Structure 1
Amino acid sequence: MNRSPAPSSSAATSASRGVLFAALSYTLWGLFPLYFKQIAQVPSLEVVAHRTLWCLVFLLGVLTVLKRWAWLGQVLRQPKVLAAFLLSALLLSVNWLTYVWAVQNDHVLDASLGYFINPLVNVALGFAVLHERPRPLQWLAVALAAAGVLWLTLQTGRLPWVALVLAASFGVYGLLRKIASLGALEGLTLETLLLAPLAAAAMAWWTWQGQSALSHGAEAPSTLLWLLFAGPLTAAPLLLFAAGARRIPMATLGLLQYISPSIQFMLGVWLYHEPFAATRLVGFGLIWAALAIYSIEGLLRSRQAAAAAA
């Protein structure tokens, strides 16, 4: 006799998909320095404008193919929803601008530090806003990671503003997307739609002044092609992230966040040869130890839940 899956099985499947989606998004973000180094000659603010416009074009194409337009008319009649997504859109643009500037100006390691701090922001927001309660070993992992971040911060000898802006902006953005009323595709489309008028106006002005990549497209066609590629390249990880954030706790999202800065760290040290004092390894070692503890605890917890459901 066939039995219907238990509710816990359905929840476990959703959580597993959420982990996969989020992990893929963070892997893609970790590789982003490779892309932004290709367009380092384009000012960071113009890069953000291109990302916004071409991402919107890509998303509108996806919605057209899927014939998913019913939500837009409803949302446009809800000022509170528009205000919430305008806030998330502004946070996203601040995060984009800071990150692009950091990569283009040889601060990949500073960007890496920001995304190492971000999981702490996620856990704090989950605890304070969503009333999630980390387990004892999770608290230990958070404490180790906090110690590592503090060590890295002290080693810089200055306020790490790049890292702090990246961590804060994306942490709050993740929270807003987790509790958002729209799905991943619709939410990202609305965000880029709200940003598009500013991006289009700025692009038109720069082009009219002869200062944009569009006005020099004939001289550097490869640069223009790289900028057009920003649409799908921007949309894919954000859609994966939003889909994952809605399915898993903020604490788990915080754990997976370490994928991106670890990749960025390796690129910054071994590919771009940015200065890296040996003393900073202590901080990164603490953070990687936290990641190991968090991962092992989560794995054991999942096996216990699976055994109980069997």
Structure 2
Amino acid sequence: MNESSQPSTVRAGSLYAVLAYGAWGLLPIYWKFFQQSSPVEVLCHRMIWSLVFLTGILLVQRRQPEVGVLLRSPKTWRLLLVTATLLTCNWGLYIYGVNSDRVVETSLGYFINPLVTVLLGFVFLRERLLRGQQIAVGLAAIGVGYFVWQFGAVPWIALGLAFTFAFYGLLRKVVAVAPLVGLAVETLLITPLALMAVSYWQVTGVGHFGESVGLSLLFIGAGVMTSMPLLWFNNAAKRLRLSTLGFFQYVAPSIQLMLGVFLYREPFTPTHLVTFGCIWMALAIYSATSLMQRSRSV
């Protein structure tokens, strides 16, 4: 697609991208409503209601045969089971990070993610690392190393989020499946376990679903809050070049960082500033290198 000849398409794509990444950035506000629930319970409901919402969309679009095709391919659904496990870990870790007052660290994870993705591409797909990308990955490592040195602790939430989502993206590149259908199958594969857990909690009286109308609606709404940004992202991806879409990916962690510092008053020390500064410089170098490479290939 030639973006310059389709200004209305680009505007629509940009709007969808802002909606998607803006919603992902604001998600901490939503998860904070579940302070009285365990992250695992919230995660289970997120899976269950995401499946309900996605199933409704697939029925409206009459795409349920695509799900059947995937499930009849053992190799495909086994790979999707692995990606579903990675996605479950990523979602659960994010909810835990937010509700343990570590929103700043979750934002660090999603800032690091593009650089981890480049590194995994080099290690597993033998993709060549350009000089600028090598410098960017090195700077990111220096930033994380400085954090560990100063605080004496590994930012495991940030690294966990970055690596689980990077491995998720790596494996999804291997599986030839549409994003919406793939996510529906992933939630379908995990939902039976989520249903068993929620049922057990309800029977034993430790579950929070049904405790109040407001909280129950929040649990149900987790499916909408999970699925709608994905649909907006898919619409943006159809209308924008990847180089254009790539710049929007920093909107979400930027919003998360601002929420953590200014809304939730989490500490942002000089050590945080050095660590984030290294990551931001790395992302600037990475983006500039990618743009130059694309301009040469045109």
In structure 2, the partner of 1:286 is 278
Tell me if 1:164 matches 2:159.
yes
Q: Which of 77, 84, 88 is the matching residue for 2:83?
A: 88
Cα drift, residue 24 of structure 1: 5.5
Q: Residue 111 of structure 1 contacts residue 162 of structure 1 at CA under 8 Å; is this kept in 2? A: yes
In structure 1, the partner of 2:217 is 225
Q: Give the direction of change, closer, same or farther, for the CA distance of 1:129–1:236 in structure 2 (3 Å limit).
A: farther
Q: Which of 203, 206, 222 is the matching residue for 2:198?
A: 203
Q: What are structure 2's unaligned runs of at least 5 residues?
A: none
Cα drift, residue 229 of structure 1: 1.1
Q: Residue 25 of structure 2 contacts residue 256 of structure 2 at CA under 8 Å; is this kept in 1? A: yes
Deviations 1:53-75 (A, max 9, x none): 11001011001111112222222
Cα drift, residue 300 of structure 1: 4.7
Cα drift, residue 302 of structure 1: 4.9
Q: In terms of mean alpha carbon deviation, does 277-286 or 147-156 score higher? A: 147-156
Secondary structure at the residue paired with 1:279?
helix
Cα drift, residue 191 of structure 1: 0.3
User: Counterparts of 1:1-310 in structure 2 under 5 Å?
Assistant: 25-216=20-211, 220-239=212-231, 257-302=249-294
TM value normalised by structure 1: 0.82
The separation in 2 between residues aligned to 1:214 and 1:82, in whole angstroms, is: 30
Amino acid of the structure 2 residue aligned with 1:226? L
Cα drift, residue 120 of structure 1: 2.5
The separation in 2 between residues aligned to 1:156 and 1:245, in whole angstroms, is: 39
The separation in 1 between residues aligned to 2:185 and 2:161, in whole angstroms, is: 22
Q: Residue 122 of structure 1 contacts residue 254 of structure 1 at CA under 8 Å; is this kept in 2? A: no
Q: Residue 209 of structure 2 contacts residue 219 of structure 2 at CA under 8 Å; is this kept in 1? A: no
Amino acid of the structure 2 residue aligned with 1:224? S
Cα drift, residue 44 of structure 1: 0.8
Cα drift, residue 294 of structure 1: 3.0
Q: In terms of mean alpha carbon deviation, does 187-196 or 270-279 score higher? A: 270-279
The separation in 2 between residues aligned to 1:164 and 1:175, in whole angstroms, is: 16
Amino acid of the structure 1 residue aligned with 2:27? F
The separation in 1 between residues aligned to 2:91 and 2:289, in whole angstroms, is: 33
The separation in 2 between residues aligned to 1:259 and 1:121, in whole angstroms, is: 18
Q: In terms of mean alpha carbon deviation, does 29-38 or 150-159 score higher? A: 150-159
TM value normalised by structure 2: 0.85
Q: What are structure 1's unaligned runs of at least 5 residues?
A: 1-7
Q: Which runs of 4+ in 1 moved over 6 A?
A: 242-249, 251-255
Amino acid of the structure 2 residue aligned with 1:35? Y
Give the % identical residues: 46
Cα drift, residue 215 of structure 1: 3.4
- How many matched pairs? 291
Secondary structure at the residue paired with 1:31?
helix
The separation in 2 between residues aligned to 1:166 and 1:58, in whole angstroms, is: 24
Cα drift, residue 138 of structure 1: 3.1
The separation in 2 between residues aligned to 1:158 and 1:77, in whole angstroms, is: 45
Deviations 1:104-142 (A, max 9, x none): 111112222322332232011112223332433333333
Q: Residue 115 of structure 2 contacts residue 136 of structure 2 at CA under 8 Å; is this kept in 1? A: no
Amino acid of the structure 2 residue aligned with 1:75? L
Amino acid of the structure 2 residue aligned with 1:209? T
The separation in 1 between residues aligned to 2:259 and 2:66, in whole angstroms, is: 41
Amino acid of the structure 2 residue aligned with 1:269? V
The separation in 2 between residues aligned to 1:148 and 1:258, in whole angstroms, is: 18
